[in-house]
Chain A
């Protein structure tokens, strides 16, 4: 008849075992966002009420019930992985005198890429026609969360899982640059709590993934307007970029606070400064010069071959303006957390069937 409460964050862990459900032992000031609940008795209703109240004061997403019927297998897996990361939510109907499951740590489980896996392209894809640079607009987290009955930040966490999968696939299949649109300048209008969560999620993910990425020879670059980002995030970014500077297998470019027009504007300012300093003449300004000044100069292949946008929207939304001049666009109907390997293979197959002429003629 006892209740066990385990609460932890990155540095701390607290226990409370008591006959009555109580959350007093939980240090409220330090707890960040994960609280796990094990109930060996049918006290869950009361506990969840207490839990809700406590959660709100701790700024934690409260557990919510979920409708099992509406989940397909991929979503279930996503949901399980989500729960594995922090806590599991119970619905009164499916927990009746049942022992809840424990919680595992937030360590990433991305397996190191082995050389043998590099050659195993799925059927139908030809290795010589693989794109060198793929860009992705990760759209649809909020909608996914709404459909599943979760909070929007759960959708973003699921999105991070999907991103891990795609990064793994890119590394295995020989794609050399992957650019992802994480946060746009237009997203600053979202509610503050969501923005705070997104940026802290980003910070946490970078910190936890650093080791794995370094081991897998992945280089990370961050592009975008960093003036509005919190200082702690900027420090983590600098550290990550520094550590992975010399990796060669895959370059992951994350666009945070980025907009295509902003990129061209800052390139224009750089060029204007150089003209003012007398370094170059106004007449010498041409496309190559602008290309050098754009933020994507961190990579050897700044122009994406393929752009994938999920969730069925048919827009580019101000992402990579200049660089998309000859990019093949692919619009996927699934929401980003559901995109996964199948969607990616479909996009690559569609890309390989296209005829790219760059304005000329195929004779």
Chain B
């Protein structure tokens, strides 16, 4: 698979020029971090025979060009997947949360930081969401809730609201594709919120996705659009009043309100992660997060990565035994 450009160059020379930086070979420093990790991991096997290293370095040099780009990227992805799997296996030795909630904050700030146009922050946010979902489901977390759009967000400029709605429509429709993450993991999708406030197209697409995934049961994704926790509570109170209208109102119990909540399809979140460093709830899951761990990393939502998730879960595991004891006492 690898070609030798100059047949008279021995492995030693390649190594020398690689490390010292002379010649036409790329230097170690000029490789990106992924390739550097790969080189370092391959070093032990080639330490006995420098010629092997030369071969490897040829391979890298050539593949970092156009021809072999896809190959090396796939190889790296496999390496990442393997290391992630072993990391998750270590994490699952301890207690894992059943339900994670995310507030996806900071998309516009990210776009501004990178000097991109306004709409692209949300697109970057969507791809960050997809990778977070992938990590969560690989880890085995059954319920994931995300705060996509709040009722307060309707107060923003109409152009921004419209572009967000268009993006949502596009992404909701893409969930129905065959190769989407929904089918890969068998996700059941719920759209929670006052769907009557959305425009007809988005609402229809959302209902279609809900119907299409109704039979999946492995993992659950709850997307909160046009959602406000206070609004949810008001609707639940209305329904309880209607239900108990003819009976004794004193007998309205906590469970009556709770079963009328839209979020009753999932248990209470164990961890609530809000990106961009703000520590407030912003009218999200007020009723359900009474006993959840709150975690607010400083990274903006498109920058969020595996390390934040792992850190949140480690912190959760630390206080888990104490909380379980308290729950048993109640």
Q: Chain A: residues with CB nearer than 8 A to chain B? A: 186, 189, 260-262, 264-265, 267-269, 271-273, 275-276, 282-283, 285-287, 290, 313-318, 321-322, 324-331, 354, 358-361
Interface string of B44-72 (1 = CB under 8 A from A): 00000000000000000000000000000
Q: Which of B15-23, B78-86, B90-98, B291-299 lines the interface with chain A?
A: B291-299
Interface string of B197-216 (1 = CB under 8 A from A): 00000000000000000000
Report how far A328 CA is from B286 CA in the complex, Å.
Answer: 14
Report how far A271 CA is from B244 CA in the complex, Å.
Answer: 12
Q: A314–B286 contact, CB under 8 A?
A: no
Report how far A189 CA is from B330 CA in the complex, Å.
Answer: 7
B150 neighbours in A (Cβ, 8 Å): 359
Report how far A321 CA is from B230 CA in the complex, Å.
Answer: 10
Report how far A354 CA is from B274 CA in the complex, Å.
Answer: 15
Query: Smallest CB–CB gap between A225 and chain B, Å?
Result: 12
Q: A268–B155 contact, CB under 8 A?
A: no
Q: Which of B122-130, B178-186, B217-225, B276-284 lines the interface with chain A?
A: B276-284
Q: A286–B234 contact, CB under 8 A?
A: yes
Query: Smallest CB–CB gap between B117 and chain A, Å?
Result: 16
Interface string of B283-324 (1 = CB under 8 A from A): 100110111111100000000000000000001000100000
- Central interface residue in A268, A283, A317, A330, by most chain B CB within 10 Å: A268
Q: Does B162 count as interface, using CB distance less than 8 angstroms?
A: no
A324 neighbours in B (Cβ, 8 Å): 281, 286
What total of chain B residues lie within 8 Å of the partner, measured CB to CB?
47
Q: A360–B249 contact, CB under 8 A?
A: no
Q: B257–A268 contact, CB under 8 A?
A: yes
Q: A360–B152 contact, CB under 8 A?
A: yes
Query: Smallest CB–CB gap between B149 and chain A, Å?
Result: 10
Query: Smallest CB–CB gap between B157 and chain A, Å?
Result: 7
B242 neighbours in A (Cβ, 8 Å): 282
Q: B230–A322 contact, CB under 8 A?
A: yes
Residue among A282, A314, A360 making CB contact with B295, cutoff 8 Å: A314
Residue among A322, A325, A331 making CB contact with B282, cutoff 8 Å: A325
- 26 A-B contacts (beta carbon < 8 Å): A186-B330, A264-B233, A265-B254, A265-B257, A268-B252, A271-B241, A276-B245, A282-B238, A282-B241, A286-B234, A287-B231, A290-B233, A314-B295, A316-B289, A322-B233, A325-B229, A325-B282, A326-B282, A328-B279, A328-B280, A329-B279, A329-B280, A329-B294, A359-B283, A361-B157, A361-B160
Residue among B229, B230, B241 making CB contact with A275, cutoff 8 Å: B241
Report how far A261 CA is from B237 CA in the complex, Å.
Answer: 12
Report how far A53 CA is from B122 CA in the complex, Å.
Answer: 70
Q: Does B145 count as interface, using CB distance less than 8 angstroms?
A: no
Q: A264–B280 contact, CB under 8 A?
A: no
Report how far A52 CA is from B253 CA in the complex, Å.
Answer: 47
Report how far A261 CA is from B155 CA in the complex, Å.
Answer: 29
Q: A287–B230 contact, CB under 8 A?
A: yes
Query: Smallest CB–CB gap between A362 and chain B, Å?
Result: 10
Return the chain B residue nearest A327 by Cβ. Answer: B280
Q: B152–A264 contact, CB under 8 A?
A: no
Query: Smallest CB–CB gap between A255 and chain B, Å?
Result: 14
Report how far A359 CA is from B229 CA in the complex, Å.
Answer: 13
Residue among B252, B282, B294 making CB contact with A359, cutoff 8 Å: B282
Interface string of B36-49 (1 = CB under 8 A from A): 00000000000000
Q: B249–A322 contact, CB under 8 A?
A: no
Residue among A318, A322, A326 making CB contact with B291, cutoff 8 Å: A318
Return the chain B residue nearest A314 by Cβ. Answer: B294
Return the chain B residue nearest A267 by Cβ. Answer: B237
Q: Does B153 count as interface, using CB distance less than 8 angstroms?
A: yes
Q: A273–B108 contact, CB under 8 A?
A: no
Return the chain B residue nearest A288 by Cβ. Answer: B234
Assuming the contacts A314-B294, A360-B155, asked whether A272 and B287 have C-beta atoms less than 8 A apart, the reply is: no
Q: Does B24 count as interface, using CB distance less than 8 angstroms?
A: no
Report how far A328 CA is from B279 CA in the complex, Å.
Answer: 6
B252 neighbours in A (Cβ, 8 Å): 265, 268-269, 272
Return the chain B residue nearest A283 by Cβ. Answer: B238
B240 neighbours in A (Cβ, 8 Å): 268, 272
Return the chain B residue nearest A285 by Cβ. Answer: B238
Return the chain B residue nearest A185 by Cβ. Answer: B330
B282 neighbours in A (Cβ, 8 Å): 325-326, 359
- Central interface residue in B286, B287, B295, by most chain A CB within 10 Å: B286
Q: B257–A315 contact, CB under 8 A?
A: no
Q: B234–A272 contact, CB under 8 A?
A: no
Q: B281–A285 contact, CB under 8 A?
A: no
